[in-house]
């Protein structure tokens, strides 16, 4: 049993519980990761060091990389946090690792502790008191079976295009399974029952903030995507009135006006990247409808839309680059863009508070400033900033991706395009599209959009961590496991959707859509976490699509082959080059 070492009270400490002997090479790995470390290894003991680390993320990444050097049986999962862990009990520490550990195997667990003067270290002492033999770790529970061996090829394939791997693992192991990607294993739950379980019937047992969505906090802050529990319920209650049908109808006028402006320069033979064209359009709509800004009044020195795009670029960079800190790194660029955006937003919030008359404005920011919950409380400036930034992130990405994929499929399926155009001609004719045409949208257009969202749900994965252990489909999942429901994979299950790879809008005819099982179709999530901006996004997609379809045909450029990227939302890798033809 390892001896207890109390952490340093004035600087970070790295504690590694290990049952790996010194000859395992762990010494060399840790030394290479951070040469300034001073440590010693005791077989079945503890490595202890308390240097001043250059940055915790560097050490964390090195240890995670080290895990890849061992087989799946050889290594426990890494716990690594820059936050104080003294108050965390041993049970939660161990169960949080989601151990898939077998008796007789060797491994280590590393904990990075921040200094906390005066903290009671008794809980940490309990953690040291736990035997590191594999039987003890095993007793905390095993994650579901699956593809849990180390595989670099699987890791590389998953990063490039995860859908085939998820569908294959579903066929082999059922609706709940584990997959190891490089150093870490995660639990996936697929299918209607699984989606409904995670998002509706047992939603309180799953936390977003502790899942992968916490990575968005540096840019978005504490918006609807990154908060849980009572705070999420309060925020949603305050925000809902801003997204009532009459508010969305008012925003539709802005959407149609911007769509007409953006297509005014189109002519037969015009070539463009439809993805980037739609992205620019969606950001103009967001500036007007979300913030009440005039996009044409932006100064030459600062364009909020361009600054937001630069900030988002951080999440598309390789993980190796994301962990770097210092001048000229992606992190530095993200923080600079955030500061610039914050200056604009906080200045505007202060200006509007001083002027008053918020109820008379139609943009979402003003509506949220004027909103109150049941006890009369309102959003603070920081809450307003975080919520509108989250809406900007979620809204413009969803619209851009869905419009792009819709026209990709219509270009490949002329019969579906013909049915849609015939109906649109009956409803709209030769006049411009009006908001009244879209409030109750043409059926064929809505079916085509629904089918596009089935094939390409922008928010394709829902990362969570479960608060308590649970069982699903006969499989037990320990508390604190990294867990994912995946709408993209669930929408491609052959036992739910016939010929799932085919673009068939008729599967979303009203009667057929109503007959789908609960949880089968979840492009906007489900339950209390259903996207609050869903109606806004749907209206914007209709407005842009109908405006284009009324006057133009969009053709794929010769030789184009679709490749999909997954970060941060589904989108065509390299854009969508098209040629515009007049109707």
Q: With respect to residue 213, please indicate whether it lies within any of the assigned structural domains.
A: no
Tell me, yes or no, whether 128 and 259 share the same domain: no
pLDDT of residue 552: 94
State the CATH number of the domain containing residue 476.
1.10.630.10
Q: Which of 79, 103, 138 is the last residue of a domain?
A: 138
Tell me, yes or no, whether 116 and 239 share the same domain: no
Domain range spanning residue 48? 13-138
Instruction: State how far Cα 522 lies from the chain centre.
Output: 15
pLDDT of residue 373: 80
CB pairs under 8 A, 24+ apart, for 526-531? 526/195, 526/196, 526/199, 526/200, 527/199, 527/200, 527/203, 528/203, 528/232, 528/233, 528/236, 529/199, 529/203, 529/208, 531/394, 531/398, 531/459
pLDDT of residue 28: 41
User: What is the spatial distance between Cα 124 and Cα 376, in angstroms, rounded to a whole number?
Assistant: 43
Q: With respect to residue 1, please indicate whether it lies within any of the assigned structural domains.
A: no
By mean pLDDT, which of 54-68, 148-162, 553-567 is the weakest?
A: 54-68
Mean pLDDT: which of 26-30, 98-102, 533-537 is highest?
533-537
Q: Which of 138, 157, 192 is the last residue of a domain?
A: 138
Q: Is the pLDDT of residue 9 over 60?
A: no
In terms of Cα–Cα distance, which of 90, 217, 149, 14 is closest to 480?
90
Tell me, yes or no, whether 133 and 243 share the same domain: no
Tell me, yes or no, whether 131 and 233 share the same domain: no
Tell me, yes or no, whether 89 and 224 share the same domain: no
Q: With respect to residue 175, please indicate whether it lies within any of the assigned structural domains.
A: no
Tell me, yes or no, whether 252 and 103 share the same domain: no
Tell me, yes or no, whether 264 and 129 share the same domain: no
Residue range 136-154, pLDDT digits in tens: 222 233 457 888 887 888 8
pLDDT of residue 271: 95
Q: Which of 138, 168, 201 is the last residue of a domain?
A: 138
Q: Is the pLDDT of residue 307 over 90?
A: no
Q: With respect to residue 211, please indicate whether it lies within any of the assigned structural domains.
A: no
What is the percentage of the chain residues whose pLDDT exceeds 90? 40
Is there a cis peptide before residue 568, judged by omega within 30 degrees of 0?
Answer: yes
In terms of Cα–Cα distance, which of 235, 241, 245 is closest to 364?
241
CB 72 within 8 A of CB 54: no
Local confidence band at 360 (pLDDT 50, 70, 90 cut-offs): low
Q: How far is CA 266 from CA 122, 279, 553, in A?
A: 70, 17, 11
Mean pLDDT: which of 13-22, 167-176, 295-304 is highest?
167-176
Rounded to 5°, the CA angle 25-102-147 comes to: 90
Average pLDDT over residues 379-387: 90
Rounded to 5°, the CA angle 456-458-461 comes to: 100
Question: Cα torsion at 123, 125, 129, 134 (round to 10°)?
Answer: 70
Tokens of 140: 């905390």
Local confidence band at 377 (pLDDT 50, 70, 90 cut-offs): confident
Instruction: State how far Cα 503 lies from the chain centre.
Output: 25
Phi, psi of 192 (to 5 degrees): -55, -50
Average pLDDT over residues 263-278: 94
CB 491 within 8 A of CB 454: yes
Average pLDDT over residues 515-535: 92
> Strand pairing partners for 485?
189, 462
What total of structural domains would you count in the chain?
2
Average pLDDT over residues 497-522: 96
Q: Which residues contact 348 (CB under 8 A, 6 or more apart)?
A: 291, 293, 365
Count other Cβ atoms within 10 Å, centred on residue 486. 25
In terms of Cα–Cα distance, which of 342, 373, 362, 350 is closest to 239?
373
Q: With respect to residue 545, please indicate whether it lies within any of the assigned structural domains.
A: yes
47-86 CB burial, b ≥16 within 10 A, e <16: bbbbbebeebbebbbebbebbeebebbbbbbbbbeeeebb
Q: With respect to residue 286, please indicate whether it lies within any of the assigned structural domains.
A: yes
Q: With respect to residue 143, please indicate whether it lies within any of the assigned structural domains.
A: no
User: What is the spatial distance between Cα 359 and Cα 308, in angstroms, rounded to a whole number?
Assistant: 27
Tell me, yes or no, whether 125 and 245 share the same domain: no
What would the 3-class secondary structure string for 405-472 be? HHHHHHHHCHHHHHHHHHHHHHHCCCCCCCHHHHHCCCHHHHHHHHHHHHHCCCCCCEEEEECCCEEE
Q: How far is CA 257 from CA 19, 73, 268, 310, in A?
A: 66, 60, 21, 26
Tell me, yes or no, whether 112 and 223 share the same domain: no
Exposure of 12 in the CB half-sphere (CA atoms within 13 A): 19
Q: Is the pLDDT of residue 246 over 50?
A: yes
What is the percentage of the chain residues whose pLDDT exceeds 70? 73
Mean pLDDT of all residues in the chain?
76
Q: Is 567 helix (H, G, I), strand (E, B) or coil?
A: coil
């Amino acid at each position: 049993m390892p001896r207890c070492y109390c952490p340093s009270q004035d600087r970070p400490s790295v504690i590694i519980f290990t049952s790996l002997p010194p000859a395992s090479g762990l010494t060399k790995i840790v030394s290479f990761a951070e040469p300034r470390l001073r440590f010693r290894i005791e077989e079945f003991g503890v490595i202890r060091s308390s240097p001043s680390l250059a940055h915790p993320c560097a050490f964390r990444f090195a240890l995670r990389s080290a895990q890849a050097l061992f087989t799946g049986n050889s290594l426990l999962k890494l716990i690594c946090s820059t936050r104080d862990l003294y108050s965390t009990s041993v049970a939660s520490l161990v169960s949080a690792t989601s151990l898939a550990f077998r008796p007789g195997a060797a491994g280590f667990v590393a904990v990075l502790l921040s200094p906390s003067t005066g903290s009671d270290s008794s809980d940490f002492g309990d953690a040291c008191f736990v035997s590191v033999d594999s039987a003890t770790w095993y007793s905390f529970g095993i994650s579901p079976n699956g593809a849990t061996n180390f595989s670099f090829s699987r890791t590389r394939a998953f990063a490039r295009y995860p859908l085939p791997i998820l569908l294959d693992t579903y066929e082999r192991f059922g609706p709940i399974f584990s997959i190891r990607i490089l150093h870490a294993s995660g639990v996936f739950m697929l299918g209607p029952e699984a989606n409904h379980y995670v998002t509706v019937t047992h939603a309180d047992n799953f936390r977003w903030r502790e899942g992968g969505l916490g990575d968005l906090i540096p840019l978005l802050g504490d918006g609807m995507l990154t908060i849980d529990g009572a705070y999420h319920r309060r925020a949603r209650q305050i925000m809902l009135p801003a997204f009532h049908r009459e508010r969305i109808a008012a925003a539709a006028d802005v959407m149609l006006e911007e769509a007409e402006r953006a297509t005014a320069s189109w002519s037969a033979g015009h070539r463009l990247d439809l993805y980037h064209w739609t992205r620019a359009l969606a950001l103009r709509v967001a500036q007007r409808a979300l913030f009440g800004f005039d996009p044409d009044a932006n100064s030459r020195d600062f364009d909020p839309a361009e600054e937001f795009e630069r900030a988002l670029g951080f999440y598309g960079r390789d993980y190796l680059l994301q962990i770097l800190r210092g001048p000229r790194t992606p992190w530095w660029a993200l923080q600079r863009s955030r500061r610039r955006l914050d200056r604009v937003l906080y200045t505007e919030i202060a200006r509007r508070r001083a002027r008053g008359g918020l109820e008379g404005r139609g943009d979402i920011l003003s509506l949220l400033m004027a909103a109150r919950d049941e006890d009369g409380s309102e959003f603070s400036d920081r809450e307003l900033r975080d919520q509108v930034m989250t809406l900007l992130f979620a809204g413009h990405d969803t619209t851009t991706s869905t419009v792009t994929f819709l026209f990709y499929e219509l270009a490949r399926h002329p019969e579906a395009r013909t049915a849609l155009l015939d109906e649109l001609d009956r409803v709209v004719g030769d006049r411009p599209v009006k908001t009244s045409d879209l409030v109750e949208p043409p059926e064929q257009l809505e079916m085509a959009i629904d089918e596009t969202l089935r094939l390409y749900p922008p928010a394709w994965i829902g990362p969570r961590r479960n608060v308590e252990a649970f069982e699903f489909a006969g499989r037990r999942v320990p508390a604190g496991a990294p867990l994912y429901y995946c709408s993209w994979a669930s929408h491609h299950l052959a036992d739910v959707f016939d010929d799932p790879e085919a673009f068939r809008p008729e599967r979303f005819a009203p009667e057929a859509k109503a007959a789908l099982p609960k949880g089968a179709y979840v492009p906007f999530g489900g339950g209390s976490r259903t996207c609050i901006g869903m109606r806004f996004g749907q209206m914007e997609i209709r407005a842009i699509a109908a405006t284009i379809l009324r006057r133009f045909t969009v053709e794929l450029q010769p030789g184009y082959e679709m490749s999909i990227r997954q970060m941060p939302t589904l989108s065509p890798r390299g854009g969508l080059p098209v040629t515009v033809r007049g109707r």
